[in-house]
């Protein structure tokens, strides 16, 4: 029975598996997104969420626990500096897994694992309040109808003269050798 045995084996012994996920977590926090197989990505999500939770705690003990997993101290420092502002309002689910397709060599399903957070909010543009439907219809009608006393818009054919084709006299003909 596999009671209380969380995690996947992935055909590796414990030391190899731990080294694999330590490297994957380090790369994820270093580059903010990585490509890996589906199964590794799903297990990596557990490791990454645990590291972000430690970083949000932010005390010395949490930093030392993160340093025991993440291989580069600079990456841990950057994670702890940015975690509060990037993931402060979110309670879990710090990674996004997007399936990309299949790897050409062996056909393994490949995914993109990326950290979510403040970068998604920067992309959103602030918009004003939507106008009521009646106001939008009236505004659209005003745009279609010409203003009283104003000029009528010319049709597109009259607005711009047709581009003239270059005359054959102006074109240079290559000299025959």
Q: Give residue 70's pLDDT.
A: 94
Per-residue 3-state assignment (H helix, E strand, C coil) for the chain: CCCCCCCCCCCCCHHHHHHHHHHHHHHHHHHCEEEEEHHHHHHHHHHHHHHHHHHHHCCHHHHHHHHHHCCCHHHHHHHHHHHHHHHCCCCCCCEEEEEEEECCCCCCEEEEEEECCHHHHHHCCCCCCCCCHHHHHHHHHHHHCCCCCCCCCCCHHHHCCCCCCCCCCCCCCCCCC
Q: List the domain boundaries for the chain.
A: 14-32+39-93
Q: Quick one: fold of 14-32+39-93?
A: 50s Ribosomal Protein L17; Chain: A, (3.90.1030)
- Its pTM stands at 0.64
Q: Give residue 8's pLDDT.
A: 85
Mean pLDDT of 162-167: 56
For residue range 79-130, list pLDDT tens digits in order. Answer: 999 888 888 888 888 999 999 999 999 999 999 999 987 454 445 555 556 6
């Amino acid at each position: 029975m596999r009671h209380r045995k969380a995690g996947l084996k992935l055909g590796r012994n414990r030391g190899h598996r731990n080294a694999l996920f330590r490297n994957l977590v380090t790369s994820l926090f270093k580059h903010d997104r990585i490509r890996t197989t589906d199964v590794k990505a799903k297990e990596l999500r557990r490791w990454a969420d645990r590291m972000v939770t430690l970083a949000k705690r932010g005390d010395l003990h949490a930093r030392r626990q993160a340093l025991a997993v993440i291989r580069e101290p600079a990456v841990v420092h950057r994670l702890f500096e940015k975690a509060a502002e990037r993931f402060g309002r979110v309670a879990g689910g710090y990674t996004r897994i997007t399936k990309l397709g299949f790897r050409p060599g062996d056909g393994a399903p490949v995914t993109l694992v990326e950290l979510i957070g403040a970068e998604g909010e920067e992309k959103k543009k602030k918009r004003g309040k939507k106008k009521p439907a009646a106001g939008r219809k009236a505004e659209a009608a005003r745009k279609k109808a010409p203003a009283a006393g104003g000029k009528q818009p010319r049709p597109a054919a009259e607005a711009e003269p047709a581009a003239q084709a270059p005359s054959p006299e102006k074109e240079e003909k290559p000299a025959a050798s």
